[in-house]
């Protein structure tokens, strides 16, 4: 475009903008925020107060945008006569489309013919006519069809739709009111509602009935949940969920949430009358919260209690067989961590006496890392206190679990550790390490260990690492032999072992001072931890990591369980490897084995995680030999899997299961079928528990939930339907 023509075009657009702004606001001074801009192929002013624009008309005014074929503005009546196709965007997520319109100058009042209201690019409401009132707050429609589904020309019937005699949309409260509403699926009427109120897609929180869901179980029968959401202000809400089954079971579920300036709290619970445990009611209560405290401290709590062991599983809440309620105050800094907690435990396991089980546990820990000025390297200091109490007062082992039924224990521990590394000329890294610890135990109501016991221990060690690297265009390899020499005197004090009875031998603790997970047991003696680490990085993106090693001792420790593979002078072999795909293919294969010298498996674990665009799979196998010290009279051999396959763009099939190889028994199995697209979400599930968990009976569960997307802030969950040409 030549410079002269470009200047004339700019002047023409400026003149049109000023003319329209004066016509729209004849009695007001022109302000920048109220200026209107108009673009059209032609513009005519008649009789001084009538403006006619035609051909690709565009108007921008106060954040609103109008597009039409022609427009006539009458300054005397302050009205707009518009011919379409018309497109009006109010700048707040609401779009109106129509063929003809008679509107006020600010586009907020008037009538639209053959109109379509689009909310948040999701929900569409088509009507013969639409009336805008209340300065744009209300839009009233007659003869309405509402849906958030994509409509194709070859098949104009949406997947679901709501037909109504009339609809009113409140743009201020973001509510939609239907009168004479009929819900249809694939054109077939399924439900009639004389009056219906739903939130529009812009509204995130509003009081009202949520979509119901169905659940069928062999113990409770077929039931429906009808959740009702109640807002209690901007920071609080309550969800009330009645649940009724055809076998007479009734449940009232509650969930209360409140947000504070420093944190939030959620309280959930339910009360049921189902006759499964007698005439008494059943239920549970749970509270969760997190709060920021002064000086960077954080308060976290999780509290839960249940009336009987089977309730949580019967109602599909959780299959946990021990419930931990914890209150903790903690602070994490760069070189320091402090935590204080109190934990209450409710056991749901069959045969586990509540009175002989630690029901209240308290812990206080303080960790500090520092750099010693004289020794160099890195040092650490830890102060810890621990206590546990039982309801029983029996100082003997009445239930045969190897522990005094009434044992109460309190402990205070001090630990200091140090490590320093040196790098020698050939690339060998040498490290010196040390650990000092002291524990003071106070034990009551125990015939074998009652009284006060003080234990002190010290450990020193030297570590050598010599990494070798071989880079390459297709493969980069690193091999690192490691050997540790560790010495610690045997502890003379005899103490009960409550927190270190289960010991894992893995790649994470092969090169450590102490492989006991808690403080009650201590690893002692002269030993050598030997092993090798191998890493391979392939050009294709695959990463392979392998660790192998064992522990050599002068004397057998005698305080490790046999199933750990660590209770002899020469430990079992540990072999662990991991194969992962660094690309988007999502492959993770992990294998950990503990083998004796005859290659007989002591413990083993294999885990596969695979994620592809069309399918995903998570599967695992685990084996642990029997060990009476770990309360395992029989070996564990179990296979688990969980996966899904995307059958089409909308349909997904899933399955899960758990198989007891040792008993040759399928213990759990589940199937699911889900449909997702831009307007509908359907979940169908079927699960069966074949073997009892603790004292819970076997059961079958069936669930169904349907959600119409496009209301109340719900977003599309699947791929938008593609129309065939």
Give dist(CA 239, CA 230) in Å, integer.
Answer: 6
Which residues 6+ apart lie within 8 Å of 153 measured at CB?
A: 723
Low-confidence winner among 157-161, 162-166, 266-270, 413-417 (lowest mean pLDDT):
157-161
**What pLDDT does residue 25 have?**
42
Mean pLDDT in the chain?
A: 87
The answer to whether residue 529 scores a pLDDT higher than 70 is yes
The answer to whether residue 131 scores a pLDDT higher than 80 is yes
298-327 mean pLDDT: 92
**What pLDDT does residue 585 have?**
65
Closest among 106, 7, 14 to 60, alpha carbons compared: 106
Closest among 93, 194, 180, 199 to 141, alpha carbons compared: 180
CB 330 within 8 A of CB 300: yes
**What pLDDT does residue 15 have?**
43
Give dist(CA 171, CA 623) in Å, integer.
Answer: 61
Q: Which two tokens stand for residue 147?
A: 């849906």
Give the CA distances from residue 100 to residues 88, 145, 465, 690, in Å, rounded to whole numbers and listed in that order: 12, 19, 82, 65
CB 561 within 8 A of CB 567: yes
Give dist(CA 287, CA 175) in Å, integer.
Answer: 32
**What pLDDT does residue 723 have?**
58
Burial class (CB in 10 A: 0-12, 13-18, 19+), 538: middle
Quickly state the pLDDT bin for 269 (edges 50, 70, 90): very high
Q: What are phi and psi of 134, to 5 degrees?
A: 65, 40
**What pLDDT does residue 13 have?**
44
Q: For 125, left (φ over 0), alpha (ψ -120 to 50), or beta?
A: beta
The answer to whether residue 23 scores a pLDDT higher than 70 is no
Give dist(CA 528, CA 485) in Å, integer.
Answer: 5
**What pLDDT does residue 715 have?**
57
3-state DSSP assignment of residue 541: coil
Give dist(CA 531, CA 299) in Å, integer.
Answer: 42
pLDDT tens-digit series, residues 215-234: 998 889 999 999 999 999 88
**What pLDDT does residue 9 have?**
43
588-595 mean pLDDT: 95
694-717 mean pLDDT: 74
Better-predicted residue by pLDDT, 592 or 310? 592
Quickly state the pLDDT bin for 180 (edges 50, 70, 90): very high
357-378 mean pLDDT: 92
Q: Which two tokens stand for residue 124?
A: 């569409």
- How would you write 419-461 as a 3-class SS string? EEEEECCCCCEEEEEEEEEEEEEEEECCCCCCEEEEEEEEEEE
Low-confidence winner among 22-36, 438-452, 554-568 (lowest mean pLDDT):
22-36
Give dist(CA 108, CA 126) in Å, integer.
Answer: 19
3-state DSSP assignment of residue 3: helix
Low-confidence winner among 49-53, 191-195, 217-221, 375-379 (lowest mean pLDDT):
49-53
**What pLDDT does residue 304 have?**
96
Quickly state the pLDDT bin for 624 (edges 50, 70, 90): very high
**What pLDDT does residue 28 have?**
40
**Per-residue DSSP letters for 680-697?**
EEEEEEEEEE-S-BTTBP
**What pLDDT does residue 541 have?**
84
44-71 mean pLDDT: 84
Give the CA distances from residue 612 to residues 199, 443, 583, 618, 683, in Å, rounded to whole numbers and listed in that order: 37, 55, 11, 12, 21
Low-confidence winner among 172-176, 349-353, 526-530, 604-608 (lowest mean pLDDT):
349-353
Burial 638-677 (b: 16+ CB within 10 A, else e): bbbbbbbebeeebebebebbbbbeeeeeebbbbebbbbbb
**Per-residue DSSP letters for 172-190?**
TTTEEEEEEEEEEETTEEE
Give the CA distances from residue 54 to residues 38, 42, 51, 270, in Å, rounded to whole numbers and listed in that order: 11, 6, 10, 64
Give dist(CA 655, CA 614) in Å, integer.
Answer: 15
Give dist(CA 50, CA 41) in Å, integer.
Answer: 17
CB 83 within 8 A of CB 69: yes
530-552 mean pLDDT: 94
Percent of the chain with pLDDT over 90: 51
Give dist(CA 393, CA 406) in Å, integer.
Answer: 4
The answer to whether residue 532 scores a pLDDT higher than 90 is yes
Q: Is the bond preceding residue 85 a cis peptide, omega within 30 degrees?
A: yes
Helix H or strand E segment including 672: strand 665-676
Percent of the chain with pLDDT over 70: 91
**What pLDDT does residue 27 have?**
38
CB 164 within 8 A of CB 144: yes
**What pLDDT does residue 677 have?**
87
Quickly state the pLDDT bin for 106 (edges 50, 70, 90): confident
Instruction: Compute how many other C-beta atoms are within 10 angstroms of the C-beta atom of residue 487.
Output: 14
Closest among 350, 345, 449 to 406, alpha carbons compared: 449
The answer to whether residue 528 scores a pLDDT higher than 80 is yes
Give dist(CA 182, CA 518) in Å, integer.
Answer: 64
- How would you write 103-170 as a 3-class SS string? EECCCCCEEEEEEEEEECCCEEEEEEEEEEECCCCEEEEEEEEEECCCCCCCCCCCCEEEEEEEEEEE
Give dist(CA 381, CA 707) in Å, integer.
Answer: 55
**What pLDDT does residue 660 have?**
92
The answer to whether residue 356 scores a pLDDT higher than 90 is no
Give dist(CA 69, CA 87) in Å, integer.
Answer: 10
Better-predicted residue by pLDDT, 302 or 321? 302
Which residues 6+ apart lie within 8 Å of 397 measured at CB?
A: 403, 404, 405
Q: Do β-strands 468-470 and 50-61 pair in parallel, antiparallel, or remain unpaired?
A: unpaired
**What pLDDT does residue 583 have?**
65
The answer to whether residue 22 scores a pLDDT higher than 50 is no
3-state DSSP assignment of residue 630: helix
395-416 mean pLDDT: 88
Quickly state the pLDDT bin for 642 (edges 50, 70, 90): very high
| Angle, alpha carbons 274-279-281 (nearest 5°) | 60
Q: Which two tokens stand for residue 209?
A: 């009935």
Distance between alpha carbon 569 and the CA centroid of its chain, in Å? 45
Helix H or strand E segment including 88: strand 79-89
Quickly state the pLDDT bin for 647 (edges 50, 70, 90): very high
Give the CA distances from residue 718 to residues 525, 610, 649, 651, 721, in Å, rounded to whole numbers and listed in that order: 60, 21, 8, 9, 9
52-73 mean pLDDT: 85
**What pLDDT does residue 471 have?**
92
Quickly state the pLDDT bin for 586 (edges 50, 70, 90): confident
């Amino acid at each position: 475009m030549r410079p002269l023509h470009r200047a004339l075009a700019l002047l023409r657009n400026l003149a049109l903008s000023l003319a329209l702004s004066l016509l729209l606001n004849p009695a007001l001074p022109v302000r920048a925020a109220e200026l209107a801009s108009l673009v059209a192929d032609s513009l005519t002013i008649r009789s001084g107060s009538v403006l006619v624009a035609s051909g690709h008309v565009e108007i921008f005014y106060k954040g609103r945008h109008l597009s039409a074929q022609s427009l006539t503005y009458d300054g005397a009546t302050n009205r707009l006569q518009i011919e379409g196709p018309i497109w009006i965007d109010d700048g707040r997520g609401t779009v109106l489309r129509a063929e003809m319109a008679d509107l006020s100058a600010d586009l907020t009042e008037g009538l639209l013919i053959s109109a379509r209201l689009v909310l948040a690019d999701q929900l569409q409401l088509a009507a013969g006519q639409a009336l805008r009132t209340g300065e744009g707050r209300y839009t009233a429609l007659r003869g309405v069809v509402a849906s958030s589904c994509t409509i194709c020309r070859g098949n104009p019937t949406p997947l679901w739709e709501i037909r109504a005699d009339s609809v009113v949309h409140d743009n201020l409260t973001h509510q939609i009111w239907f009168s004479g509403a009929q819900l249809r699926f694939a054109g077939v009427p399924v439900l009639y509602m004389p009056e219906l109120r739903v939130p529009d897609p812009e509204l995130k929180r509003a009081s009202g009935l949520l979509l119901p869901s169905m659940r069928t179980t062999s113990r409770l029968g077929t039931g429906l949940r009808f959740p009702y959401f109640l807002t209690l202000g901007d920071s609080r809400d309550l969800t009330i969920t009645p649940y009724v089954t055809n076998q007479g079971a009734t449940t009232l579920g509650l969930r209360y949430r409140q947000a504070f300036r420093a944190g939030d709290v959620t309280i959930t619970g339910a009360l049921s009358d189902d006759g499964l445990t007698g005439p008494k009611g059943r239920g549970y209560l749970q509270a969760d919260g997190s709060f920021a405290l002064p000086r960077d401290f954080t308060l976290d709590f999780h509290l839960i209690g249940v009336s009987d062991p089977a309730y949580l599983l019967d109602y599909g809440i959780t299959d946990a067989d021990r419930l931990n309620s914890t209150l903790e105050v903690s602070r994490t800094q760069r070189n320091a961590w402090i935590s204080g907690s109190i934990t209450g435990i409710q056991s749901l396991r069959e045969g586990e006496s509540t009175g002989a089980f630690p029901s209240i546990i308290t812990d206080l820990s303080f960790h500090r890392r520092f750099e010693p000025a004289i020794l160099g390297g890195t040092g650490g200091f830890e102060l810890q206190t621990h206590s546990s109490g039982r309801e029983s007062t029996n100082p003997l082992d009445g239930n045969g679990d190897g522990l005094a039924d009434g044992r109460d224990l309190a402990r205070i521990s001090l630990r200091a550790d140090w490590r320093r590394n040196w790098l020698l000329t050939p690339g060998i890294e040498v490290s010196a390490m040390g650990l000092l610890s002291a524990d003071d135990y106070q034990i009551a109501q125990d015939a074998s260990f009652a009284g006060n016991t003080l234990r002190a221990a010290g450990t020193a060690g030297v570590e050598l690492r010599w990494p070798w690297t071989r880079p390459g265009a297709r493969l980069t390899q690193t091999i690192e032999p490691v050997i540790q020499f560790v010495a610690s005197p045997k502890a003379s004090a005899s103490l009960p072992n409550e927190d270190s009875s289960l010991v894992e031998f893995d790649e994470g603790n092969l090169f450590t001072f102490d492989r006991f997970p808690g403080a009650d047991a201590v690893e002692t003696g002269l030993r050598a931890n030997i092993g090798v680490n191998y890493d391979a990085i392939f050009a294709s993106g695959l990463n392979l990591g392998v660790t192998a090693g064992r522990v050599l001792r002068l004397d057998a420790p005698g305080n490790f369980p046999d199933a750990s593979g660590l209770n002899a002078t020469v430990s079992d072999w540990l072999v662990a490897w991991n194969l992962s795909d660094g690309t988007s293919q999502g492959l993770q294969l992990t294998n950990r084995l503990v083998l004796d010298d005859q290659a007989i498996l002591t413990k083993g674990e294999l885990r596969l995680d695979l994620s592809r665009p069309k399918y995903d799979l998570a599967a695992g196998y685990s084996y642990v030999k029997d060990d009476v010290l770990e309360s395992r009279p029989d070996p564990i051999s179990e296979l688990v899997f969980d996966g899904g396959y995307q059958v089409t763009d909308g349909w997904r099939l899933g399955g899960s299961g758990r198989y007891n190889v040792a008993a040759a028994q399928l213990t759990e199995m589940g199937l699911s079928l889900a449909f997702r697209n831009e307007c509908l979400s359907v979940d169908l599930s079927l699960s069966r528990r074949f073997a009892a968990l603790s004292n819970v009976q076997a059961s079958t569960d069936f669930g169904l939930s349907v959600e119409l997307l496009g209301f109340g802030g719900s977003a599309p969950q699947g791929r938008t339907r593609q129309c065939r040409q």
